Structure 1
């Protein structure tokens, strides 16, 4: 069991959630405000995507990331900044017998283009999604090939940014360890992402199987989506890991009660403390994750 817990709040994500909960932040000002509110609620880390302020659709515009990061850094709170580097891997296969007629949801760029905002802003942490995955029941695929991953891992390491390896299935963990073996990564974090169709399911057996295959001494966290967010947070802590909550992964605090990033942070902290743990401050979290202290 982990008694000293890092809490990450994933603020908005890239999913089609804007119309389903009014608290999902869209503009850079709203996303930064959500990070600040999560920090005040006790979160250690803020994990941020950006969205087009006009449409709410996911974006990888460097200017939007810049505004979010600057607003957080200028605030009178401390929180570790973790930016996604997963945008630009979306492929919507054409329907039926026309698979090469890619759909409007496609946004496929190379591994270094996915890191342009990381190059400029140098967050403390950025993510690396460690494999290709079917998302949902349609024709949507997230694409992250071994060659792309090697290039991305190498560049993140060169930039001096801590990689958080997003593990959506067991093969992703296998390849993440291969990149470690090849020297492409230095002391990365591991994030076990459970419950996304059709990746690893959000259950105890799957999480434990992944944990049992982590490198010795790895710093890791886990989460489940939707109604499994809090059960998987508790399970991660019991198995020795850290936790992630936030509106990226779950829109509801209770049945029929819309959540906010702050309320989800407060809820998971209650669970951690009732299990006998404590939440690490950003300074304590940096020490545990091997980040430079401020």
Structure 2
């Protein structure tokens, strides 16, 4: 008998650390803007809100806990959504900086990149003639010579200090097939237990390309390594690949992630005016596919989260 497909968890990554203010006037930069867009995304149907912080003075990425504190508690008070704090930060942050707020907040969920990698959007700099802020051009161009670091020891440390000590569970961000094998290593070592939430990411330079065939590769590899019933699969398509790959993934039984961190657009040549617009679009697609969207509490049950009230914010 065929297994009945579970409800679909919609995650929304509201701002990230990759895009810069010049790239879109709708990218939220201040605590007020981030809080507003996150709350609107939750109201539109996002069960999980993936959050980064920006310096409100010029929009550059920041790991400052004081900035996070200006919007994270507000989002918690206004929504029932699962709050997911990045441990990725940006390629320019140290591990200590990236963990500073998560260790204070002890959230239900954090993102965790499953390996060191080249991660870059530097070719985009060639398309921009005028920048809004002095920091943006060297920030984007400089990605060509930077590596995002997450060594095995780094990951082991994060699993200990956030997972074991804080009860936080993880959105395991897998940018390539090797990242699935890295995750399997930690499962084999007894450092990670299910249900796993695997965010499979396509279309980032330095990671796996956005070819549809790669989605099958990641899904079948995860099946072999973990067993279909031991993990929850999710799909993130970067840039113009967002909606097409998410639709394909949903048909295959995956969960989905949208948001202005992942794509600035709603359609070809059309900037999204908010992350909520992308949430509403993917929700319409899911409705047309006769797939039900999970509520935040249903997502908590599916992922084994500790609960909204067992956090420190």
State the TM-score, normalizing by the size of structure 1.
Answer: 0.89
Matched, 1:205 2:213: yes
Q: Aligned residue for 1:96?
A: none
Alignment-derived partner of residue 268 in structure 1: 282
Aligned equivalents of 2:199, 2:69: Cα separation in 1: 24
Contact 2:246/2:256 (8 A) holds in 1:
yes
Which residue of 2 is the match for residue 10 of structure 1?
Answer: 13
1:61 shift after superposition: 0.7
Give the unaligned 5+ runs of structure 2: 123-143, 309-313
List 4+ stretches of structure 1 deviating above 6 A. Answer: none
**Where in structure 1 are there 5+ consecutive unaligned residues?**
91-105
Tell me how far 1:3 sits from its aligned partner. Answer: 4.9
1:180 aligns with 2:193: no
- After superposition, residues 206-221 of structure 1 pair within 5 angstroms as 206-214=214-222, 215-216=226-227, 217=229, 218-221=231-234
CA contact (8 A) 2:168 2:306 kept: no
Match of residue 125, structure 1, among 109, 114, 135: 109
In proportion to residue count, which structure has more helix?
Answer: 2
Looking at structure 1, the residues matched to 193 and 72 of structure 2 have their Cα atoms a distance apart, in angstroms, of 24
Greater strand share, 1 or 2? 1
Deviation for aligned residue 1:241: 1.1
Residue of structure 2 aligned with 1:193, choices 175, 193, 201: 201
Structure 1 residue 113 displacement after superposition: 4.6
State the 1:39 CA deviation.
0.9
1:236 paired to 2:236: no
Distance 2:220 2:270 in 1: 36
Aligned-pair CA distance for 1:154: 1.9
Per-residue deviation, 1:163: 1.2
**Distance in structure 1 (CA, Å) of the matches to 2:19 and 2:267:** 20
For residue 2 of structure 1, report the CA deviation from its aligned partner. 3.9
C-alpha distance 231-3 of structure 1, shift in aligned 2 (>3 A): farther
Q: For residues 239-276 of structure 1, what are the alpha-carbon distances to aligned partners after superposition, in whole Å with 9 as ceiling and x for unaligned? A: 22100001001111122322010110000001111111
> Which of the numbers 78, 87, 101 marks the counterpart of 2:89?
87
Partner SS for 2:71: helix
Give, in whole Å, the separation in 2 of the partners of 1:254 and 1:244.
16
8 Å contact kept, 2:20–2:60: no
Contact in 2 for aligned 1:29/1:71 (Cα 8 Å) = no
Contact 1:269–1:279 (CA under 8 A) maintained in structure 2: yes
Q: Deviations over 1:82-119 (max 9, x none)?
A: 1100126x2xxxxxxxxxxxxxxx33x23x55322111
Shift of residue 293, structure 1, vs aligned partner = 4.9
TM-score for both structures, normalised by structure 2: 0.84
The number of residues matched between the two structures is 275
